[in-house]
Amino acid sequence: MTVKVRSFAKINLGLCIGAARRDGFHELRTVYQTVGLHDVLSLEVSRGSGIEILCDDPRVPTDESNTCYRVAERVMVALSAKGRVSLGIEKRLPLQGGVGGASSNAVATMLALELALKKRLGSKDRFRIASEVGSDLPLFLVGGSVLGVGHGEEVYPLPDLPATACVIATPEIGVSTPQAFRDWDESIEAQRPSASQTRTPGPTQGAKLTAPSTSDRMNEFSRTVAAWLSGYSGKAGLPTSGVPARGRGRAETPLLDLVHTGIENDFEKVVFPKYPELKEVKTVLRQAGAFYASLSGSGSAVYGLFGTAEQAQKGVSALCRRGIPAAATSTLTRQQYWRKFLVSSF
């Protein structure tokens, strides 16, 4: 049986980086949001054994290092299944783009394999396998608007935000996530006051020398999202007030309400100085009318949110005139995410 599915991308609505943990990961806080851009995967289980991955993009690994391979291996064991798994990946999402392409592919493989085998994993097994393979995988088992904590692998469904026009720019730049974390750690270390500065602060010292601690910043992000959530009333599942926008009145939509709280992606502080062209992409999106623009994850994708699909198309045109690849899409509610997931099965 062959199963064909869509593997959707995600963006990050704010991302706060905390301290490095003993397990080597950093504590994170973020709001994930799935969007309509996607890869297409075709999976078949036949007689034999092993896992075969085919992809026209030579940058996509086809061995055990591929997240799809690692997930398929675990799913076959968990379901006590036998057979040869053949997976074809039609790659449309950028590599090292910060939109979760590899993670989404892996979760799509898991669900397609369940359909092909006509066997179903329990919810605990799904999330266990996903979190074993990568931090971004579990969010794709939820879809829609998702709160991510821990090192991103602990996910909680948020009330769905209405579909919103979105432009995703995909500059041909590869940003290493591990290096971005290292750059972040170095920037935090550089902000720490020296021993001589902290030993005997004078009357003009003190506040300027001590940057907000990582725990303070994490708490602030959590309070911001919690305050925004408290604006949700039971009416139609949508917020009626939310957090007061900075210098604005009540936001017109729940998503506007969230982004107007001032949430930011911490990676911008270390990625933009190394790749100023990415900061320029964000500027172009804002000038084209985006009510919010941000780096997604550690990049290199930069997205903008627009009031209408027509405005989003103008944003795409503005980027294309500068030679920057971009596509207009829309955020996906949880219902849309799951309704559009399956292309066909035969």
Task: List residues with catalytic annotation.
Answer: 10, 136
Residue 312 near residue 328 (C-beta atoms within 8 A): yes
What would you measure as the largest C-alpha separation in the chain, in angstroms? 77
User: CA-based angle 214:174:57, to the nearest 5?
Assistant: 135
Q: What is the Cα–Cα distance from 110 to 121, expressed in whole angstroms?
A: 9
Structure tokens at 337: 């995410």
Choose among 90, 204, 145: nearest CA to 331. Answer: 145
Q: What is the Cα–Cα distance from 300 to 123, expressed in whole angstroms?
A: 32
Tell me whether strands 51-55 and 84-90 are parallel, antiparallel or unpaired: parallel
Choose among 332, 327, 273: nearest CA to 302. Answer: 327
**What distance, in Å, lies between the first and last C-alpha atoms of the chain?**
6
